[in-house]
Amino acid sequence: MSASSATAARARTGGPREDGPGALEHVLGWVLVAVVAMLVTQLGLL
């Protein structure tokens, strides 16, 4: 058994994928940043 066939036979453990929805996650991340910023300013924490 070579090294490449050993890694191909190994099951995935739920880590990040290379072909994931990168643009959607990027947009949702910035939306989260904006929501947290609005919450901080509304509560007067800044």
- So what's the pLDDT on residue 5? 60
pLDDT of residue 14: 73
Q: What is the pLDDT of residue 8?
A: 63
Rounded to a whole number of angstroms, the CA Rg of the chain reads: 20
Which portions of the chain are predicted below pLDDT 70? Answer: 1-9, 12, 15-20
Angstrom distance (rounded) from CA 15 to CA 22: 14
pTM over 0.75: no
In order, the DSSP letters of 1-46 are --HHHHHHHSPP-S---TTS-HHHHHHHHHHHHHHHHHHHHHHT--
Q: Provide the pLDDT for residue 35.
A: 97
* pLDDT for the residue numbered 28: 95
Given this model, what pLDDT does residue 6 score?
58
Return the amino acid letter for 45.
L
